[in-house]
Amino acid sequence: MLTRDQLTDDQWRTVRNTPHHIAIAVSAVGGSIFDEMLERSAAMSGIADALNSRHPLVQGIGASADIMAAQDQLRTWYHGLEDSERHATNLQAKALAMFKDAVGTLQERGQHDDVRHYCDFVIALATRVARTAREGDMLGMGGELVSSGERTFIALLEAATTTNGR
């Protein structure tokens, strides 16, 4: 099984930071400020749950020092964007590109199981974030559990995994 020590610092940074970008990309699709808060909380819980993974690379993503480093780098990147660039489409494009890079790295350096565990973790995280808050509801009534924008983005992630050997 592939471990963090078998990756360069840049490769590890991409693998480690990608789940954070994915969570922000899903959360940015829509909903209220309260919805975003719930979704980001679910994202952090999901990333911390990586410690429970059977795969050492995924476990490394959940280490507190790595979570803090990824959050700092994400915050720096996000605040470096112009306001006009802080929209769901741009955030999703960045997250999808990072995901493809991470999967490519794992394919190059690891085995099929390494890719599968990582992809399963990232897609489960995206789904967890998407299912946290109903979109378009009024005082908890109506709305949909996963919005069409969230479904579309998760489908893009799944498509990227199938074209990259998951």
pLDDT, one tens digit per residue, over 68-92 is: 999 999 999 999 999 989 999 999 9
Please report the pLDDT score of residue 36 as a whole number: 83
Q: Rounded distance, CA 101 to CA 70, Å?
A: 16
Burial class for 20, CB neighbours closer than 10 Å (0-12, 13-18, 19+): buried
Q: Rounded distance, CA 42 to CA 153, Å?
A: 17
Rounded mean pLDDT of the chain? 90
SS3 141: strand
What pLDDT band is residue 135 in, cutting at 50, 70 and 90? low
Q: Rounded distance, CA 97 to CA 16, Å?
A: 14
Other CB atoms closer than 10 Å to residue 136's CB: what's the count?
A: 12
Q: State yes or no: pLDDT of 165 exceeds 60.
A: no
Number of domains in the chain: 1
Which residues face 135 on adjacent strands?
144
What pLDDT band is residue 33 in, cutting at 50, 70 and 90? confident
- Domain residues for the domain of 137 are 4-163
